[in-house]
């Protein structure tokens, strides 16, 4: 559920008309709902109330400080994959002991930054990384808590670009050779192995891949215990999907019940890294129709948002619902909704049945809260969109619109 709804023939974000936001802040415009963020976080976090757990929001899904502050105020931790995300998390007030650091390419300076901050643990993805963390921790006189990311070779049945748990993926250590890696962790100075990490992919619409992976991880845990390593943390990552179109993903409650049953009374703290399921449907991208264009073979709606603003349709061929901000009950046309970028791949929707809109009218692109602004760019020297957070009747400019001056500010 989200808090974008029509009242009196106009789309509202909570208690604010979307057209009012556009009049104040222009387009393209990302609009986030604080009530939706809180609702989704509560629904997810409470689903695991029967287990010792920590819900760490995946910052890569949406790294805006206002979003992070909203979640941190509810007790959320975060999952980060870069030094920049760590910097953002700390700036947003996230407690360091609630931060886990994932990712395959952690640089030396980033590792030092995380050790100095005192994060909970690193999710280690290679032997080289493990050795580097040890050397840096020794130099700093600190002890690094680590989990090793185990690749269970489970097919999450999602888009291949966001599948991360198969043998052919770049992530983690293969499960057959991971015991040797844990033995190495026990030998290295300034390293304490405290957990097991596993993340199989994103936008999963079934619980069965999670349970298949968990079964393999629990078998692996028994082998670790036999070696004298008793994991205190079990990080199962994120990946629970949302509804963009006709998907029917499981509710977090169903996910929580399944994991609670599978884990029983094992003495471990469960760490979860939801991103999309928290913030995906908490945001929309509002865009203005610039032109309509009819050719012998196709009708186009040309809008001022483009693939640089929301790349998911171009990159993943993903579906995002598109609706009028002020519906007028007109005939429906089959159209491509495209942006101004000089690429044929610049589209928000193809072969979509939409009302016949006119230049100057506003469209809302739904499910844009996750991997929307965070994946945006300045391609074609386009300033990035503004972001606003609506909380009831209160509007916060979460990020001002970039200017042409911003585009060249770092150049000489």
342 a catalytic residue: yes
**Is 312 annotated in some ligand binding site?**
yes
355 is in an annotated binding site: no
Q: Tell whether 343 is in a known binding site.
A: yes
Residue 96 is labelled as binding a ligand: no
Whether 384 has a binding-site annotation, put simply, is: no
Residue 402, annotated ligand binder? no
Q: Which of 56, 198, 225, 342 is catalytic?
A: 342
161 marked as part of a ligand binding site:
no
Q: Please, are residues 236 and 263 in contact by the beta-carbon 8 Å criterion?
A: no
Annotated binding site: 239, 273-276, 312, 316, 343, 371
Annotated binding site for pyridoxal 5'-phosphate: 239, 273-276, 371
Annotated binding site for substrate: 276, 312, 316, 343, 371
Catalytic positions, please? 342
């Amino acid at each position: 559920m989200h808090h974008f709804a029509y009242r009196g023939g106009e789309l509202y974000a909570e208690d604010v008309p979307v057209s009012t936001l556009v009049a104040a802040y222009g387009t393209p415009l990302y609009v986030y709902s604080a009530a939706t963020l809180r609702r989704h976080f509560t629904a997810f976090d409470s689903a695991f109330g029967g287990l010792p757990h920590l819900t760490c929001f995946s910052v890569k899904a949406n790294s805006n400080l206002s979003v992070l502050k909203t979640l941190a105020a509810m007790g959320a931790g975060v999952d980060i994959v870069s030094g920049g995300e760590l910097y953002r998390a700390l700036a947003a007030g996230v407690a360091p002991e609630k931060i886990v650091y994932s990712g395959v390419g952690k640089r030396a300076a980033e590792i030092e930054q995380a050790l100095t901050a005192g994060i909970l643990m690193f999710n280690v993805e290679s032997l080289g990384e493990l050795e580097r963390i040890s050397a840096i921790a020794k130099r700093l006189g600190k002890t690094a808590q680590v989990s090793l990311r185990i690749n269970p070779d489970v097919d999450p049945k999602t888009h291949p670009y966001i599948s991360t748990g198969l043998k052919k993926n770049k992530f983690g250590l293969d499960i057959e050779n991971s015991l040797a890696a844990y033995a190495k962790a026990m030998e290295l100075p300034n390293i304490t192995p405290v957990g097991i990490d596993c993340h199989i992919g994103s936008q999963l619409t079934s619980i069965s891949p999670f349970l298949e992976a968990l079964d393999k991880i629990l078998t692996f845990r028994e082998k670790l215990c036999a070696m004298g390593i008793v994991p205190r943390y079990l990080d199962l990552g994120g990946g629970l999907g949302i509804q963009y179109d006709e998907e029917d993903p499981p509710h977090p409650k169903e996910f929580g019940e399944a994991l609670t049953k599978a884990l029983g009374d094992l003495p471990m703290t469960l760490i979860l890294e939801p991103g999309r399921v928290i913030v995906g449907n908490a945001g929309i991208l509002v865009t203005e129709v610039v032109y309509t264009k009819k050719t012998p073979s196709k009708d186009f709606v040309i809008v001022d948002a483009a693939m640089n603003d929301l790349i998911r349709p171009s990159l993943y061929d993903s579906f995002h619902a598109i609706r009028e901000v002020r519906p007028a009950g007109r005939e429906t046309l089959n159209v491509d909704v495209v942006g101004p970028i000089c690429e044929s791949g610049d589209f928000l929707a193809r072969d979509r049945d939409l009302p016949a809109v006119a230049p100057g009218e506003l469209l809302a692109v739904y499910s844009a809260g996750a991997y929307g602004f965070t994946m945006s760019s300045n391609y074609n020297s386009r300033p990035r969109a503004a972001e606003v957070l609506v909380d009831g009747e209160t509007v916060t400019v979460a990020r001002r619109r970039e200017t042409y001056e911003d585009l060249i500010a770092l150049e000489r």
